[in-house]
Structure 1
Amino acid sequence: MTTCHVRFEFQCERGKLKYSHAVPQSLVTAADPRRAPDATYMKTFLATIQPIVMEHEPACRAASNTQCGECGSPTAKILLTPMSWLHIINDPFVNVWANPVCANDACEAKTRQKIQDLMALMTSGGAAKVRTEDSTQPTDSGVIVLPCRVCDKRDKTFRCTRCKEVAYCGKEHQKADWSVHKRICKPAA
């Protein structure tokens, strides 16, 4: 298998950590895989990136705050979220955000959502909106329409039938978000 060296930049509160790792040449492609993800590409990307990211977790922990970024409680773990820039052929790299979180699942879910929003903003060239705490808007009939938690679409969304606190534009986005949402999803009172 042909490989090429790629720069990895870990963004931590106390600075940027830089490393170089060999990755399969097939991951470096002029087409941005985030725009239309291919299942085989994504599987290869994750299988390659996860061990590299975990190798640098101790250094990221040392370069991160000792308190949760959401609530200020002691850090229980560091969320390491990679963002591929491997489609930039002349300078391919992977940016990895290191975010300290406590043991509270709600803090982790909020942090993950903020990261997703930031990634959407970056890949859209600033055209995407970053979700705020109050991102709901009443319709003309006074009904509150929640945006899709994944893509922010507001047309024909449906609420989670269990908690009624988040909405999705379709089953595909609900499934995609379940690994994060299930940690805070509680039956509505």
Structure 2
Amino acid sequence: MATCPVRFEFQCEKEKFTATHNIPRSLVTADPSQSQNAQYVKTFMDTVQPILKEHEPAARAASSTKCGICGSPTAKILLTPMSWLHIVADPFINVLANAVCSKASCEMTTRQQIQDLMAVASNQDDSVRPGNGGVNVTKTTELLPCKVCGKMEKTSRCARCRVVAYCGKEHQKQDWPAHKQVCKSLAR
């Protein structure tokens, strides 16, 4: 399989760092419709997840020790990849690192803030993006795993809050007792 070196830019609270990894060349494409292709998304996530896991300790060290929402001690780091692989001349993946505590409400609020930020980035005029070569940018969305099983394929977001995803009705119903407590407060 042909590969291509791609820069991963980790945006953490204390500092930023960069790593370069070879990824399948098929992921670097100027075709904006590919980001909607289920096989492309699966290949992207299968490729990116181990890289994020590898750099999670460094991202944790470069992030705050306090939850960005409530100030409680950090329980985990959310790593959200934003693909800029459509910029074929200089492809990169921006990774947002956010410290969160163990409260579901803080994680969900943080995820909503990430979605808002991604929406702003998607709607920016291409002229303000360095190195894009005039390529049209498609809408950027956070790819979420099923909150119950972690599966990435064919997940759907909660229709009310849009912050969590499930692989089917069964897992959505299973998680509802825990999710309903914060869902209404996050609904737009």
TM-score (norm 2): 0.69
Shift of the 52–33 alpha-carbon distance from structure 1 to 2, 3 Å rule, reads farther
Residue 157 of structure 2 contacts residue 165 of structure 2 at CA under 8 Å; is this kept in 1? no
Number of paired residues?
143
The equivalent residue for 2:179 is: 184
Shift of 1:179: 2.9
The equivalent residue for 1:29 is: 29
User: Please, what is the CA RMSD of the aligned residues?
Assistant: 2.4
The residue matched to 1:21 in structure 2 has which SS? strand
The residue matched to 2:63 in structure 1 has which SS? coil
**Structure 1: distance between partners of 2:33 and 2:78:** 23
Counterpart mapping for 1:1-189 below 5 A: 1-33=1-33, 37-125=36-124, 173-174=157-158, 177-179=163-165, 184-186=179-181
Q: Identity over the aligned pairs, expressed in percent? A: 55
Amino acid paired to 2:65 = T
The residue matched to 2:158 in structure 1 has which SS? helix
Name the structure, 1 or 2, with higher relative contact order (CA <8 Å, separation 6+).
2
- Compare the two structures and name the one with the higher helix fraction: 2
Shift of 1:177: 4.6
Deviation track 1:77-133 (CA, whole Å, cap 9, x = no partner) reads 00000000000011000000000000000000000010011001101117xxxxxxx
Segments of structure 2 that go 5 or more residues without pairing to the other structure are: 126-140, 142-155, 167-174
Residue 109 of structure 1 contacts residue 184 of structure 1 at CA under 8 Å; is this kept in 2? no
**Structure 2: distance between partners of 1:117 and 1:123:** 10
**Structure 2: distance between partners of 1:123 and 1:32:** 12
TM-score (norm 1): 0.69
Deviation track 1:155-187 (CA, whole Å, cap 9, x = no partner) reads xxxxxxxxxxxxxxxxx6536754389553239
The residue matched to 1:114 in structure 2 has which SS? helix
Segments of structure 1 that go 5 or more residues without pairing to the other structure are: 127-149, 151-171
